[in-house]
Amino acid sequence: AIILSALKEPAGEKRVALSPAVVAKFVKGGFEVLLEKDSGAAAYFPDHLYTEAGATIVNRQTALAKANLIAVVDRPDEDTLAQLKKGQVLIGLLKALVEPAVIQDLAKRQVTALSLELLPRTVSRAQNMDALSSQASIAGYKAALVGANAFTRYLPMMITAAGTAKPAKVLVLGTGVAGLQAIGTAKRLGAIVSGYDVRPASRNEVESLGANFLTSSVNAVGEGGYARQLSAEEQQQQQDELAGFIAKNDIIITTAQVPGRKPPLLVTQKSVEAAPAGTIFVDLAASDLGGNVYSSKPSETITTANNAQIIGAQDLPSQLATSASEMYARNMQAVINTIVNEAEIVIDVKDDVLSELVATYQGEIVSGRLRQALK
């Protein structure tokens, strides 16, 4: 039988790559499943749920040594990667485009790696494997709640005996998967919502949620449905037009990303400093490289001199760990099903999904995007 392991994630990560429900499916399909002790604890999947589903709880060393397939959410630490052996298959959000050298090292050691960030978004057969979408959707939903929670006024219009409250205005910058979910959630909370993107195709999606689409004067459609990076002049033009939109809103949720690049700065120092007391910025793109909002820091909340707040929110899927893990595990199941055939691992690097999703196989870099990133 094929041996599938899930590891306990790095500190701070509450998600887990396999849920008990998905483990039960694998066991039924003839897999032997090993779970490192306490892997699911932070997502409230205690070990006994996994043993009831047919898995065996083991220590990390055994989970690593025995596995043919290793399922993770985040890329494991260097020590763990160093223990992987030739022919083992590692699957997870491995940051292939951001830190390609780490993946290259796996290739040298003939470890196979599937990095879920590389999944082609436009192939419909890949939809059930799309962990970027399932996790972005969770992040967008939670971003609206985090913004609402920090805001010191009502979101909906309230007509009460004690007076009337006006609805809050929410602006979402970047209306991909996360942005659209943020829009839908803020609408359900009763806010007046606008969306903005450099891909004109997102207008219909924003408007179908009942939000207002703010047209960008910059059109930046890139490859594979993604946005491309803006030139310096375009970025300036965008920052100028956005300053006016930002000033008219109470809660600004930013989600703009360009694959493998530093996130674009959408909210400048000037806009941050001009924001009145009570304004909330929720920056989903906040990272160590910088985010969409000037001065945002991952997992930190900063209060400006004017009492606006900048919430650096890159760990929202981990905060919704149970739902996020359930969905991630289903994506993982779909990926594994495409590489396992009759109890054998078969990786067809010519397949339209695998040719992109597979980062390394038999010592070679397979993904074209990853090869580009390594140049």
User: Is 133 tagged catalytic?
Assistant: yes
Q: Does 130 bind ligand NAD (CB under 6 A)?
A: yes
φ and ψ of 69, to 5 deg: -120, 135
Packing angle of the helix pair 131-150, 321-339 (nearest 10 deg): 170
Return the number of the residue (76 or 264) whose C-beta is nearest ligand NAD: 264
Q: Which of 127, 231, 236, 362 is catalytic?
A: 127
Give one DSSP letter per residue of 207-273, joined into a string: HHTTPEEEEPS---B-GGGPBPPPPHHHHHHHHHHHHHHHHT-SEEEE----TTSPPP--B-HHHHH
Find tokens 């999703």 and name the residue.
357
CB 360 within 8 A of CB 106: yes
Q: Which of 115, 133, 271, 318 is catalytic?
A: 133
Identify each DSSP E strand in the chain by its residue range.
3-6, 32-36, 56-58, 69-74, 89-93, 112-115, 158-160, 163-165, 169-173, 192-197, 212-215, 251-254, 280-283, 301-303, 309-312, 340-341, 344-345, 358-361, 364-365
3-state secondary structure 76-104: CCHHHHHHCCCCCEEEEECCCCCCHHHHH
- Report the residue from 29, 57, 156, 226 that binds ligand NAD according to the rule CB under 6 A: 226
Residue type, 100: P
User: Is 127 tagged catalytic?
Assistant: yes
Stretch in the footprint of ligand NAD (CB under 6 A) among 65-73, 94-102, 122-130, 271-279? 122-130
User: Is 110 tagged catalytic?
Assistant: no
By CB under 6 A, what part of segment 177-206 binds ligand NAD? 177-179, 197-199, 202
Q: Are strands 192-197 and 169-173 parallel, antiparallel or unpaired?
A: parallel
- Provide the minimum distance between the beta carbon of 205 and ligand NAD in the complex, in angstroms, as a whole number: 7
Give the CB-nearest residue to ligand NAD: 176
Residues 245-284, one symbol each (x = binds ligand NAD by CB under 6 A, - = not), give: ----------xxxxx----x-x------------------
Return the number of the residue (135 or 325) whose C-beta is nearest ligand NAD: 135
Return the number of the residue (34 or 293) whose C-beta is nearest ligand NAD: 293
- Provide the minimum distance between the beta carbon of 307 and ligand NAD in the complex, in angstroms, as a whole number: 27
User: Is 294 tagged catalytic?
Assistant: no
Return the number of the residue (202 or 304) whose C-beta is nearest ligand NAD: 202
Return the number of the residue (8 or 199) whose C-beta is nearest ligand NAD: 199
- Provide the minimum distance between the beta carbon of 333 and ligand NAD in the complex, in angstroms, as a whole number: 17
Return the number of the residue (37 or 121) whose C-beta is nearest ligand NAD: 121
Q: Would you state the structure tokens that stand for residue 176, as one six-digit string?
A: 């991909």
Q: Which of 130, 197, 250, 283 is catalytic?
A: 130
Rounded distance between C-alpha atoms, residue 253 and residue 251, angstroms: 6
- Provide the minimum distance between the beta carbon of 216 and ligand NAD in the complex, in angstroms, as a whole number: 7
Question: Which DSSP category does 293 fall into?
Answer: B
Q: Which of 226, 229, 315, 351 is catalytic?
A: 226
Residue type, 347: I
Return the number of the residue (40 or 176) whose C-beta is nearest ligand NAD: 176
Q: Does 173 bind ligand NAD (CB under 6 A)?
A: yes
Nearest residue to 227 (alpha-carbon basis) of 100, 121, 355: 121
Which residues would be at the binding site for ligand NAD (CB under 6 A)? 121-122, 127, 130, 132-133, 136, 173-179, 197-199, 202, 225-227, 230, 238, 255-259, 264, 266
Q: Catalytic site residues?
A: 121, 127, 130, 133, 226
